[in-house]
């Protein structure tokens, strides 16, 4: 009889050990080829750093699987399936491109695994399903930060130039609301088709309206071409320019003279005064030769947060990790603090206002931004219930 109990006991111990032998698998999807590749690549670098830094989780080293979606939502859908089914990842992090992120979120729900969405801005991801967590920035946050802080500090008359696609429309909607709330005056808007090369007609129209601030709800080359045209027509002498999204890579690809003096909003920058920022940014720079953007920092932070939650939950089972993440407050160099709301799985943290330095002011390589202001989380982030909620 005793022998049987001992045998059973050993058997159970062995199975317990065997199930512990299943490592935590982190999946990463982003754009690793094509024009946006540098952004995606830096996110991947950051994820690798996070996985290495996390060390041993649940007794095993964490495995990382990365996939390229080439900025194509259809492809992202396939890759997410591959990651969840073939590679058996427990979580997917990253994923730029809002359409792609929405597809991954659906796959997360289908496969009942977690998706830590960091790199896409659409507010449709907030409260989408219980498996999706929205971290880092979102379109509301960008627009509200620009509108609220800008209306107080930069002037009341605003003109917007918007990229004519879903993201631009989303931003415009939130921006105009934020502006109205602060008593600003929206003197005009132009919808510009994607990849327009010559912005001079729009600049001339904007100049006509005599705004204090020109807001570019666009990204990448569109923003660069528009700003160049603004400089060319002398608009920058009287009008301040604000960008919805501006990365070090954009500045590098166009030249700092074009963007000097422009403002932008971001949840983080390598120049902010949060504990641990300088160390992490320097470490990234040393390892990869580039200054990290907030996208890279966000994916690092999200990955560490997930692994941290797994440790606290003592298991990588989806529902247990979700419980551990909901309502948690996390502190690291990226969010200090960041609180994940249980109602809609949105991580709220404060936002910063950045300004591009003048060419002479650079002290270190690619040290393009300086911090000029900040907005607390409750003003920068949407209130609960403005978007979908889970309960």
Cβ-based neighbours of 320, under 8 Å, separated by 6 or more: 313, 314
The nearer residue to another protein, 98 or 118, going by C-beta atoms, is 98
Nearest to 95, CA basis, from 295, 316, 335, 243? 295
Smallest distance from another protein to CB 99, Å: 4
Smallest distance from another protein to CB 76, Å: 9
Smallest distance from another protein to CB 46, Å: 18
Q: Are 43 and 295 in contact (CB under 8 A)?
A: yes
Strand partners, 66: 28
Cβ-based neighbours of 47, under 8 Å, separated by 6 or more: 26, 28, 64, 66, 93, 94, 299, 300, 303
Smallest distance from another protein to CB 37, Å: 5
How many angstroms separate the Cα of 126 from the Cα of each of 102, 347, 354, 386? 10, 10, 25, 10
The nearer residue to another protein, 154 or 209, going by C-beta atoms, is 209
Smallest distance from another protein to CB 263, Å: 21
CA atoms within 13 A on the CB side of 43: 31
**Strand bridging mode 369-375 / 347-348:** unpaired
The nearer residue to another protein, 190 or 374, going by C-beta atoms, is 190
Smallest distance from another protein to CB 97, Å: 9
Strand partners, 163: 192
The nearer residue to another protein, 36 or 119, going by C-beta atoms, is 36
Q: Are 373 and 344 in contact (CB under 8 A)?
A: no
The nearer residue to another protein, 159 or 334, going by C-beta atoms, is 159
**Structure-block tokens of residue 167:** 């993201």
The nearer residue to another protein, 97 or 301, going by C-beta atoms, is 97
Give the Cβ contact number of residue 181 at 10 Å. Answer: 13
Smallest distance from another protein to CB 98, Å: 6
Smallest distance from another protein to CB 365, Å: 16
Q: Please give the distance of CA 240 from its chain centroid, rounded to a whole number.
A: 25
The nearer residue to another protein, 220 or 267, going by C-beta atoms, is 220
The site for another protein (CB under 8 A) is made up of 32-38, 67-68, 70, 72-75, 77-78, 81-82, 85-86, 98-99, 102-103, 106-107, 110, 122, 124, 164-166, 169, 188, 190-193, 195-198, 200-202, 204-205, 208-210, 221, 224-225, 228-229, 232-234, 249, 252-255, 257-258
Q: Are 239 and 230 in contact (CB under 8 A)?
A: yes
Tell me the C-alpha distance between 306 and 293, whole Å.
Answer: 20
Tell me the C-alpha distance between 37 and 29, whole Å.
Answer: 12
The nearer residue to another protein, 83 or 354, going by C-beta atoms, is 83
For residue 346, what is the DSSP state? B
């Amino acid at each position: 009889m005793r022998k049987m109990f001992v045998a059973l006991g050993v058997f159970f111990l062995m199975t317990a050990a065997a199930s512990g032998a299943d490592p935590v698998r982190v999946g990463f999807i982003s754009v690793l080829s094509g024009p946006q590749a540098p952004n995606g690549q830096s996110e991947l670098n950051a994820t690798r750093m996070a996985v290495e830094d996390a060390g041993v989780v649940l007794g095993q080293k964490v495995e990382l699987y990365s996939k390229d979606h080439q900025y194509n939502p259809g492809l992202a859908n396939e890759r997410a399936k591959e990651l969840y089914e073939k590679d058996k990842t427990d979580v997917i992090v990253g994923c730029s491109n809002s359409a792609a992120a929405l597809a991954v979120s659906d796959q997360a729900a289908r496969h009942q695994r977690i998706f830590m969405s960091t790199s896409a801005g659409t507010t449709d991801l907030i409260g989408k399903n219980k498996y999706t967590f929205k971290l880092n920035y979102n379109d509301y946050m960008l627009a509200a930060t620009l509108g609220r802080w800008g209306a107080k500090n930069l002037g009341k008359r605003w003109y917007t130039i918007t990229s004519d696609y879903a993201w631009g429309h989303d931003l415009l909607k939130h921006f105009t609301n934020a502006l109205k709330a602060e008593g600003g005056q929206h003197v005009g808007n132009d919808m510009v088709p994607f990849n327009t090369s010559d912005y001079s007609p729009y600049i001339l129209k904007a100049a006509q309206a005599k705004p204090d601030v020109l807001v570019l709800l666009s990204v990448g080359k569109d923003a660069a071409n528009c700003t160049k045209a603004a400089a060319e027509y002398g608009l920058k002498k009287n009008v301040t320019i604000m960008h919805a999204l501006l990365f070090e890579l954009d500045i590098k690809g166009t030249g700092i003279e074009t963007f000097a003096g422009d403002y932008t909003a971001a949840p983080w920058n390598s120049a902010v005064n949060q504990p641990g920022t300088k160390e992490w940014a320097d470490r990234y720079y040393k390892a990869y030769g580039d200054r990290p953007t907030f996208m890279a920092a966000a994916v690092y932070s999200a990955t560490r947060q997930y692994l941290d939650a797994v440790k606290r939950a003592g298991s990588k089972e989806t529902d247990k990790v979700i419980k551990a993440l909901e309502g948690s407050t996390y502190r690291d160099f990226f969010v200090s603090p960041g609180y994940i709301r249980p109602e809609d799985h949105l991580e709220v943290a404060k936002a910063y206002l950045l300004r591009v330095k003048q060419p002479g002011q650079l002290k270190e390589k690619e040290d393009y931004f300086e911090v000029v202001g900040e907005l607390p989380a409750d003003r920068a982030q949407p209130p609960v219930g403005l978007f979908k909620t889970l309960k």
